[in-house]
Structures are given as C-alpha cells and as structure tokens.
Structure 1
C-alpha cells in the first residue's frame, strides 16, 4: 500500500493550502494588533514547510503552494476597519493598504522558504501560486473581467458601504444576494465569487501567476479502479 501511495502521489498535482488564512483571520477579527499578528508569520510558514516536507517524504513530486490574497480588499475587513483617514486606502482600488502590506509580507516570507525547500529537493517541482497578484487586477480594472456590479462590495450581505454586516451575514434571514454574482468579485464578505475563482484558476494554470510556470511541469493523471 505504501508503494502504491508513493506512486500515486508522484504523478499527482498537489495543492498545499492555502494554510494560515484562518489563523490570521481569527486574530484580526479578535482585535489583535497587526504587530502581534506579524509574529504569527514564522509559525505559519513553518507549518507550511512541514506539510510540504511530509508530502515529499510520502512521494509527492509536483506541489502548488499558494500565497495569501490581498485581504485589504475584503468587505469583512473594509467594514471592520473602516476609517475616515483616506491615507489608509489605496486610491485606485479602495483597499486597505496596511492589510495588503501584511499579505505581501507573508507571501515574501513564504517564497523565501519555498526556495530553501527547493534547494534541498532539486528533483521536486515546487510551484508558488501567486494568489495576491492574480486577484489584484480585478480591483484595478474590474470592467476587463466583467465585474461591473461591485469590487469591494459583497454580492451576498445585508447593507452598509461594503454590503457586509457581521450581525446579518450571508445565509441569514436578513441577508440577500445580488441578482448576478458573476458581476461581483466577492461573494459573502470573505470569499470570492465563482467568476473570480474562474479567473484565478485560469491565470494560474496558464502560468501567468504561477512561479515557475505550472505549464512547464507536465503532470499525468490517470484513473485508478483502486480509488
């Protein structure tokens, strides 16, 4: 069975994560300072590294490791950290600068760790999925992607400038959904719509936001009656 699992993993494309998102989310929503949360980054990176190394030991040969999204653009955080200080926001996107800078910091540290792991396992294909830069164009040029309904507003919610209310979240009786979710980037305040994920997947699979390009590592998927 171990030999079979090793063989199966060796010809599979494995998506590792994304890991750590909820660790940051819970801390931010609990009111911890960004300085405190920044101390979590090495711990999160260590867990990602440990997971990758364990998968390699089990036979994995092609791993896609995603970074963090530009969380400063999410309605849940734009609502919680809403401020009259316009300097806190990116003038082009309306996203919170400090939260996006934190996501960039996490992603930079993750890529450093991935390069170290790659150096130790030169025969393994470790691909960084740049979720951050795959998503950011949606906010800079929403019309190009069909997002004409809203950028920083949630499709499903209960009013407010970002259509997000923690007391009446999407799914509650008070909340309602937009008529055409494909016109929105965000679904419920924290998750993207299917349309947004479609663009993310397309750009990753074509190699536009995968480092190195995911297309340079052919992966063979075969049906097994044992699965």
Structure 2
C-alpha cells in the first residue's frame, strides 16, 4: 500500500482473509480428529490462524489511515461474511456448505489434491447453485453473489463507505 501511495494511489479497499478452516481443500487434506472441528465442521486451528492474521491486518489498516494522509483505507471483514455463509448455509439456500461442487471423492468434501477440478476423473455437481464451494477453494457464482451483496452493504466495512465512492474519486 505504501508503494502504491507513493505513486499516487489514495483509495484502498482491503479484504481480510476468509475462514480457511472451512475450505473443502483444507478439510480433505489435513489429518484431524473430532475435537479439531467447530460446530459447523470447520477446522478450528486454521480459522484461529486466519483470525489472528486478520486482527493484525485490521491494526495495520488503522495505523496506515493515520500515516497515509489524504487517503481512504476501507477494511472489509470477509471472514465474518464467509463464516456467516457457512454457519447459515440453509438460510441462504445452500445444501452443501463444506463440499466442493467440482472435484473427486464424493462426500463429505468431494476434494482430492491429485484429482482436482478439470483433471481426468473429476465430476461436477448437477446443481452448483446449492453449493458454496466450486472447486474446494473458490466459491460458486451463487455463493459469490451473497458475498458481494454483503460487501456492498458496507455493514462489514470500516469505515462504512459505499463502494461507489471509489468509482468517483
């Protein structure tokens, strides 16, 4: 950010990281026991690491707001948006909160690090709109629509500045 600022950039839209412990890719590749999961089936240690990173990023954004004069730095809490999506998947119309639509291996995660989406042997779900994860890492179009709506609401932004501000300034 400081480099971009030195070259004239003044508006920054910073997203923190999502709940890594809820990604099918992570869930399928880590050895784990039942105590490693939270109430939604996500890996607690990875989510704790993501939250610690996000706390440091939030503090950095606060510091840079003071340091980079005449700049706008909006911090967006993607973790909360995406964790809410997992925790309340059925409320948003999703049936498979932790399973990839495109992948290999079937339930519970449909993810295999060797046979990933687009490799020989993979399969694609019939109703992608009912899945949050497309390929174990990326979200489906339907999930991204929910995420985008929440981002644009500014309810998860500090400060709460509409995205259109960045299009006119």
Report the TM-score when normalising by structure 1. 0.70
Is the Cα–Cα contact under 8 Å of residues 206 and 214 in structure 1 kept in the other structure? no
Aligned partners of 2:78, 2:146: CA distance in 1, in Å? 11
Aligned partners of 1:138, 1:217: CA distance in 2, in Å? 24
Moved over 6 A (4+): none
1:198 aligns with one of 130, 145, 162: 145
Indicate the residue corresponding to 1:152 in structure 2: 98
Is residue 66 from structure 1 mapped to residue 15 from structure 2 by the alignment? yes
Indicate the residue corresponding to 1:33 in structure 2: none
Is the Cα–Cα contact under 8 Å of residues 154 and 189 in structure 1 kept in the other structure? yes
Does the residue aligned with 2:165 lie in a helix, a strand or coil? coil
**Larger RCO (CA under 8 A, 6+ residues apart):** 2
Q: How does 1:63-142 map to 2 (within 5 A)?
A: 63-83=12-32, 85-91=33-39, 93-142=40-89
Assess, with a 3 A threshold, how the Cα gap between structure 1 residues 121 and 217 changes in structure 2: closer, same or farther: farther
Which consecutive unaligned segments of at least 5 residues does structure 1 have? 1-51, 223-227
Which consecutive unaligned segments of at least 5 residues does structure 2 have? none
Is the Cα–Cα contact under 8 Å of residues 152 and 163 in structure 2 kept in the other structure? no
Report the TM-score when normalising by structure 2. 0.92
Q: CA deviation at 1:219?
A: 3.0
Q: CA deviation at 1:146?
A: 1.4
Q: CA deviation at 1:72?
A: 0.1
Q: How does 1:168-207 map to 2 (within 5 A)?
A: 168-207=115-154
Q: How does 1:38-53 map to 2 (within 5 A)?
A: 52-53=1-2
Assess, with a 3 A threshold, how the Cα gap between structure 1 residues 217 and 61 changes in structure 2: closer, same or farther: farther
Deviations 1:10-39 (A, max 9, x none): xxxxxxxxxxxxxxxxxxxxxxxxxxxxxx
Q: CA deviation at 1:87?
A: 1.2
Does the residue aligned with 1:60 lie in a helix, a strand or coil? coil
Deviations 1:85-123 (A, max 9, x none): 2111002x1000000000001100111111111111242
Which of these two proteins has the greater Rg computed from alpha carbons? 1
Q: CA deviation at 1:61?
A: 2.0
Is the Cα–Cα contact under 8 Å of residues 156 and 175 in structure 1 kept in the other structure? yes
